[in-house]
Structure 1
Amino acid sequence: MQAKKRYLLVLLSCAFLAYCYFGGYRLKSKSGVTPVRQELSHFLDVSDQLYDSDVDSSPHIRRMGEFHGDNYSKCRMETCFDFERCRTDFKVYVYPFASDSDSEVDGELPVPPQSPSYQKLLNVIIESRYYTSDPGQACLFVLAIDTLDRDSLSQNYVRNVQARTQRLRLWNNGRNHVIFNLYSGTWPEYLEESLGFNPGMAILAKASMSTAVFRPGFDISIPLFHKNHPEKGGDPGFVASNNFPAAKRYLLAFKGKRYVHGIGSETRNSLYHLHNERDLVLVTTCIHGKSWKDLKDERCDEDNAEYDR
């Protein structure tokens, strides 16, 4: 009798376990209840889904800084520049500076403080004979907004540039404007097209531009310059007219050290390809540091002799 009870108890236990297993499986497979995740709205666009990481910038900054997807990436002087403004004379207008403490003028947002480098750049333009305080006479326009450093982690980074430019009465989608930029993007990628705003039809005077971003015959490639670079110095210039091209013997000249290893070595080690001893003169020396002899390459002796000549 006891054996029958034990067998019956085991049988009932197996039946209960089977019911729990298959019953739970059927409940999971039912599609009558929509998961909460499917009911939520999607706030990602295609660029966000394809982007590998959000470490270097927010989606908002990426969208405001991308200008390759529009027609502005194909800008040329014939399509994005108004030559009528330059028919009488070549004049440059610099937007007036207004601090955050000043009130808004004509709907324009007050301009944040400028970095010393940008102040020097604007001072050179304002003190030149090309400057005009009358925007009606200007051929080119330069922003008072500091756009040199577009690294969002930098203390010189200016926020809301897109909104500030769009509220400028003379902005005209960037036409006939020149935007200066030395650094763009942020850690770890430092994408050169990540300006944090769309420059539109403005000419980019930018350092370290690649051929993928540079618009031939429109943009201007400029060198990096140190923040301590003097605003003025040396002898007075001798330029008295706007003759172009200038009647000079040398188109390009460079004399300096090259590094046979480390950062920057690939660039300077390639300069000899441009050297033709006529209008392009680029001479370098390998003598740099204490271990240059141990690391010198096959061109060092020839380059050193050319450098000392």
Structure 2
Amino acid sequence: ILLLFGCVSGIKPRPKFTAIIHAVTPLVSQSQPILKLLVAVAKSQYCVQVIILWNCDKPLPAKHRWPATAVPVLVIDGESKVMSSRFLPYDTIPTDAVLSLDEDTVLSTTEVDFAFTVWKSFPERIVGYPARSHFWDSNKERWGYTSKWTNDYSMVLTGAAIYHRYYHYLYTSYLPASLRGLVDQLSNCEDILMNFLVSAVTKLPPIKVTQKKQYKETMMVQTSRASRWADPDHFAQRQSCMNKFASWFGSMPLVHSNMRLDPVLFKDQVSILRKKYKDIERL
């Protein structure tokens, strides 16, 4: 993988990103989180295009249901509608940077801009907001997964993260069909698998930006499809995935870090007018 990845390392990334929003619930209200997210992302000075990956089993919404934006919005009707399809190497991605988003992610335009600014300095890594960690459970003699708020982390979830589009090619072409099939069967763990892949390539941890404990919209849309995060088996599945992935990689590739990058003067007791990303502190 390291030889293949040579095309990424040492090359200055193009100064824009393409956002991919993974949609799995039907559009029934103009107040749904996905529409708020679309507007916020499209306002970013670095965004060139937003792709809505429609992995919902309901028909595509009419064009007028989507808000008007300053950048093009492309809706792709996923044929297989499986979780791994969010990491396909779509020809419609014109930029090096991909901003990967879940439909119920809560991010402001300022937060998007800051994350992308950080990513430009670390284009080989995953850069984003929701952090998670792994640990060795000596009692069970297996790897564990935790979402507890701690001082370190080893994963940044792809529900709100930026990474190089080359990882789409590695995810699709290098990883075995058995691992991708497990992800698709469970509709879970795709973010963990992507973190395993990136850390295996770089031998480095991802990068978390700014303190943000909540990145999911709490308002539940009234649909017949419940959120996968509400599934009681969701956490157990992720524990199992950790060990199956580690087994295939032959070791644990994830690397711990306690570094968090914040804007200059973040939370400093100075005038808010002196801060470039001042809106972040008001969230």
Structure 2 length-normalised TM: 0.31
Whose relative contact order is higher, 1 or 2, with alpha carbons under 8 Å and at least 6 apart?
2
Structure 1 length-normalised TM: 0.29
**Greater strand percent: which structure?**
2
